[in-house]
Amino acid sequence: MSEATQAALDARYTSVTVALRQRLLGFVLQAFSGLSSYRDEDATAFVEQILPVVLGAQQQMGALTDAYLSSMVGDMFGGAAATLGVQIPGAIRGVPPEEVYRRPFVTIWSALAEGKSMTDAVRQGQNRLTSITGTDLQLVRTEATRQVLGGDDRVKFYRRVLRGSYNCALCVIASTQRYHKEKLMPIHPGCDCGTRPLPADQDPGQVLDPELLEAAHDAVQAGTGKVDRGGRLPDYRDIIIDRQHGELGPIMAIRRQDFTGPKDIPGR
């Protein structure tokens, strides 16, 4: 497969899945913020309203991922790009979605019980809803990838593909590594990295992009004064890396204005 073909497939898949993610997040957040109150009956009405759209978007994400990976594998080995027809469970977490999408309300009720203002409590609920919705889409992407690649012995490895110009440092570093397909998992809640299959007979080695790997660690060092190749101190999930400058082109730098602490991470 040519690099140009891979890039074109990646670009198209990224475009449609990012748009799907944004539409779904916009829909659920608008429905959430439009509630007159956040009592138990409002939670029930909210879940009934959004769940058909949420589950529909998850099925669409599964189909898009199936088509993308089937095209990649087909072109890689010279065969037909026939989709598998992945089956995405309604309870992608193994928990009924009705329960999962009530959790933002539980977050609000807990915050109010702690003495937080309604404004702060609702903001926390919105953050949790954003995390849940985005993470579920990524779990669908992971499940679809597992089904498409799992039974294909021609594919043994994969690499992570970054989406957009802004990613957490943990994802940037992960994108420089080669992984076995049995280890398909989102890196963290809200992670939107994609995957690109690699042929079983071509093991490129553990580090695929040593220059990007070093640049990421250098950016963390320059931006925080600390660096840890284990990604612990500082927590690389909390550091957003800007990989593109509007005027200068590709760069690597910390987006200081978007830095958050551990207490700001939804779902913790």
> How crowded is the C-beta side of 170, counted as CA atoms within 13 Å?
17
3-class secondary structure per residue, the chain = CCHHHHHHHHHHHHHHHHHHHHHHHHHHHHHHHCCCCCCHHHHHHHHHHHHHHHHHHHHHHHHHHHHHHHHHHHHHHCCCCCCCCCCCCCCCCCCCHHHHCCHHHHHHHHHHHCCCCHHHHHHHHHHHHHHHHHHHHHHHHHHHHHHHHHCCCCEEEEEEECCCCEEEHHHHHHCCEEEEHHHCCCCCCCCCCEEEEEECCCCCCCECCHHHHHHHHHHHHHHHCCCCCCCCCCCHHHCEEECCECCCECCCEECHHHCCCHHHCCCC
Q: What is the pLDDT of residues 118-154, one digit of tens each?
A: 999 999 999 999 999 998 998 898 889 888 888 777 8
pTM for the predicted model, two decimal places: 0.75
Q: What is the pLDDT of residues 24-71, one digit of tens each?
A: 999 999 999 999 999 999 999 999 999 999 999 999 999 999 999 888
Locate the domains of the chain by residue range: 1-152, 154-268
